[in-house]
Structure 1
Amino acid sequence: MKLTVFGATGGIGQEIVKQALAAGHKVTAVVRDPARFTVTGRGLEVFAAQVTDAEALRPAVAGRDAVLSGLGARTRKDAGIAATLTRPVLRAMEAEGTRRLLVVSAGPLAPVPWRQPLVDRLILSVINAVLKDVYADLRVMEDDLARSATDWTSVRPPKLLNKPVTGTYRTVIGGNPLSGRTIARADVAHAMLKMIDDPATVGQGVGVAY
């Protein structure tokens, strides 16, 4: 497949690029500063652009089978950038007729499972209070996705870890895995690549966790 990856210098974005190349896909990595991007490999194109410029992004998404995005806040100070940076991507994709889009969101945006243990509910309430601005931004982003012409999937992980890919995790369409508290960035990338061809995930938020 021909894939485009936004947020390619981030933890999940880099993993998407590496795993996609290893699987034999052709990958366009969109980065602001190519000097910060150290991934190499056959089938890789590094595309330098400001993600805020939808017109400049059109060549990066034209003719692609799917676009995968790791764009989003890395700290609380970055709250607001997920929606801001995803909108130009949506406009570029709609202009080029590129439909499949998978983005990284967050587990707390999903409904809380009715069987969720009390301790998990308490942990979630604290996290929601601390990161409320980040999650509000992600909700705006997901609303933008729902109004778009793309075949979108919002992948919602819990706490992210820097660990190797395992390929073993749980997914729940429209919810979260029960008591799923962590997942490696590498496995989020693995899940996103796996979902590209899964029609059941289109137009859905999908929880991923161990």
Structure 2
Amino acid sequence: MKIAVFGATGRVGSRVVNKATEENIEVNALVRDRARAQEMIPNAHLIEGNAKNPEDVEATIQGCDIVFSGLGTDKTTTLSQAVRAMIQSMNKYKVDRIITIGTAGILNSRVEEGSYRFQTSESKRRQTFAAEEHLFVFGALTGSNLSWTILCPTYLPDGEAAGRIRHEVNYLPVDGKKITVGDTAQFAFEEIKESRFPRSRVGLSE
């Protein structure tokens, strides 16, 4: 297996990369700062570039078997621009699996049928830009022929994997308040290896 990783120096992405390389799984990682990346993910094959650049995205995906994206929104449209390029390159090179980290805001609401959590009182966030970017990813992947999984953690504090992971397809587990970065990365890595939730959003909490 060879994994193309975007957001490889992020909190979840860096842990996923290091878990993979510890198991001798090859990783192509698109990074903006090679020197910083070499310190954080020393055993990945680094491709310096920008996720908004389709050529850089293509160079990262070429020769890989699966894509993992831990890209965040960072108050920009990087995420929505990148996912377009990912889908295009995946189709070109016949790579059919992608796992991404989303947000619990794009899960189904329990209180308002037909709405997303970020649109209802279930969400504590008043700003919706990030959720709308992740919703674009959901729509783009749903409209593709790819086998996709969007992992949707709730509040994501730093912390090691403790194994306290609850999950539910399309919804946030009842009374879910948080899940550590470590547990989220562990769940993501297991999904990369096992493909348990094809074409699904999966809510994560402890």
In the alignment, the residues of structure 2 paired with residue 112 and residue 71 of structure 1 have an alpha-carbon distance, to the nearest angstrom, of 24
Provide, for residues 15-51 of structure 1, a one-character-per-residue CA deviation record: whole Å limited to 9, x for no partner: 1111112233111111122122122444x21111221
Following TM superposition, by how much is the alpha carbon of 1:67 offset from its aligned partner in structure 2, in angstroms? Answer: 0.9
**Residue 135 (structure 2) aligned to one of 135, 139, 142:** 139
Question: Relative to structure 1, is the Cα distance of residues 56 and 99 closer, same or farther in structure 2, using a 3 angstrom cutoff?
Answer: same
* Matched pairs, number: 199
Query: Residue 122 of structure 2 aligns with which residue?
Result: 124
In the alignment, the residues of structure 1 paired with residue 170 and residue 2 of structure 2 have an alpha-carbon distance, to the nearest angstrom, of 27
Asked if 1:68 corresponds to 2:68, the answer is yes
Q: Is the 8 A contact 2:2 2:25 kept in 1?
A: yes
Q: Is the 8 A contact 2:62 2:93 kept in 1?
A: yes
In the alignment, the residues of structure 2 paired with residue 64 and residue 167 of structure 1 have an alpha-carbon distance, to the nearest angstrom, of 29
Query: Residue 3 of structure 1 aligns with which residue?
Result: 3
Query: Residue 59 of structure 2 aligns with which residue?
Result: 59
In the alignment, the residues of structure 1 paired with residue 32 and residue 144 of structure 2 have an alpha-carbon distance, to the nearest angstrom, of 25
Question: Relative to structure 1, is the Cα distance of residues 140 and 89 closer, same or farther in structure 2, using a 3 angstrom cutoff?
Answer: same
196-205 or 130-139, larger mean C-alpha shift: 196-205
Following TM superposition, by how much is the alpha carbon of 1:196 offset from its aligned partner in structure 2, in angstroms? Answer: 2.2
Q: Is the 8 A contact 2:7 2:30 kept in 1?
A: yes
Give the partner amino acid of 2:188.
M
What is the SS of the residue equivalent to 1:89? helix
Asked if 1:39 corresponds to 2:40, the answer is yes
Following TM superposition, by how much is the alpha carbon of 1:57 offset from its aligned partner in structure 2, in angstroms? Answer: 2.5
In the alignment, the residues of structure 2 paired with residue 157 and residue 40 of structure 1 have an alpha-carbon distance, to the nearest angstrom, of 23
Following TM superposition, by how much is the alpha carbon of 1:200 offset from its aligned partner in structure 2, in angstroms? Answer: 4.2
Q: Is the 8 A contact 2:102 2:134 kept in 1?
A: yes
Q: Is the 8 A contact 2:14 2:40 kept in 1?
A: yes
In the alignment, the residues of structure 2 paired with residue 63 and residue 166 of structure 1 have an alpha-carbon distance, to the nearest angstrom, of 34
**Residue 87 (structure 1) aligned to one of 84, 87, 95:** 84
Aligned residues: percent identity? Answer: 23
Provide, for residues 125-151 of structure 1, a one-character-per-residue CA deviation record: whole Å limited to 9, x for no partner: 432xx2312111111111011112321
Give the partner amino acid of 1:91.
Q
In the alignment, the residues of structure 2 paired with residue 54 and residue 14 of structure 1 have an alpha-carbon distance, to the nearest angstrom, of 22
> Where in structure 1 are there 5+ consecutive unaligned residues?
115-120
**Residue 173 (structure 1) aligned to one of 149, 157, 169:** 169
Asked if 1:182 corresponds to 2:186, the answer is no
Runs of 4+ that moved beyond 3 A: 197-200
Provide, for residues 89-121 of structure 1, a one-character-per-residue CA deviation record: whole Å limited to 9, x for no partner: 22111111111101111112111346xxxxxx9
Following TM superposition, by how much is the alpha carbon of 1:192 offset from its aligned partner in structure 2, in angstroms? Answer: 1.1
**Residue 109 (structure 2) aligned to one of 100, 106, 112:** 112
Question: Relative to structure 1, is the Cα distance of residues 107 and 125 closer, same or farther in structure 2, using a 3 angstrom cutoff?
Answer: closer
89-98 or 33-42, larger mean C-alpha shift: 33-42
97-106 or 87-96, larger mean C-alpha shift: 87-96
Query: Scaled by the length of structure 2, what TM-score is found?
Result: 0.87
